[in-house]
Chains A and B, each alone.
Chain A
Amino acid sequence: MKRLRWLIGLLAIIIILGMVIYYPFESLLEWQSEFLKRSFSVLFLCAVFCLWRIFRGPTAADRAVAIDILGILILGFCAILGIPTGRDWYIDIGIAWALQSFISTLALAKYMEGRNFDE
């Protein structure tokens, strides 16, 4: 029974994702840029999941994990955004954002390490 529920949920997720990505295109001439525009919706959904985990994580470590994941996702955002617009400097913004996110994650980890709940 439990395995059946998992299977139904997995099929529903795959069908929803397929409908978002492979919904029939209006103009077949520019299907690549249409596809890239539509693939933003999946990344926006991922960012909403991360923001939900930041909003109600039980501890501070959950929020730090979600911030780290959001910083990696923004690199993917900037990489996709560079293709249909044809501008090359979006990937620079993405790499700089990932570098800042890495340093801030290390600083958050060192800050959380010095504070104990027992003391």
Chain B
Amino acid sequence: MNEIIGLFFITVGLFFDFFGCLGLVRLPDVYNRLQASTKSVTLGTCSILFGLFLFKGFTAAGIKALLGILFLILTAPVAAHALSRSAHKMGVGLCKESVCDEYAKEKK
């Protein structure tokens, strides 16, 4: 029974990964790509790791999978925030359809 629930979690994670990477290809801007891909790929990989934990139970590999979930939730938003801040400071413009840019007003 645990293994079937684990396979369900792995399938949900694969779908989230696929749609995140599709957003990485399709969207028009750096910030849109970051917004689409980072969140959904993080959630998908966390779901895959939780499926691995349901397969392995409380052994060494299962505990390491839970540690991987904790590590990924802590570090992926930090990396995404640093990347978007450095992209805005580098001078990469927003796309044509975007409405307002508050950070550029803040810098002046």
A residues at B contact (CB < 8 Å): 13, 17, 21, 32, 35-36, 39, 42-43, 45-46, 49-50, 52-53, 59-62, 64-66, 68-69, 72-73, 75-76, 79-80, 82-83, 88, 91-92, 94-95, 98-99, 102, 105-106, 108-110, 112-113, 115-118
A77 to B27, CA, bound (A): 25
Residue pair A83, B91 in contact (C-beta under 8 Å): no
Query: What total of chain B residues lie within 8 Å of the partner, measured CB to CB?
Result: 52
User: Which of A46, A79, A116 touches B49 (beta carbons < 8 Å)?
Assistant: A79
Which B64-108 residues sit within 8 Å CB-CB of chain A?
A: 64-65, 67-68, 71-72, 75-76, 78-80, 82-83, 85-87, 89-92
Residue among B13, B52, B68, B82 making CB contact with A83, cutoff 8 Å: B52
Also in contact, A42 and B14, with CB within 8 A (given A75-B68, A79-B48, A106-B82): yes
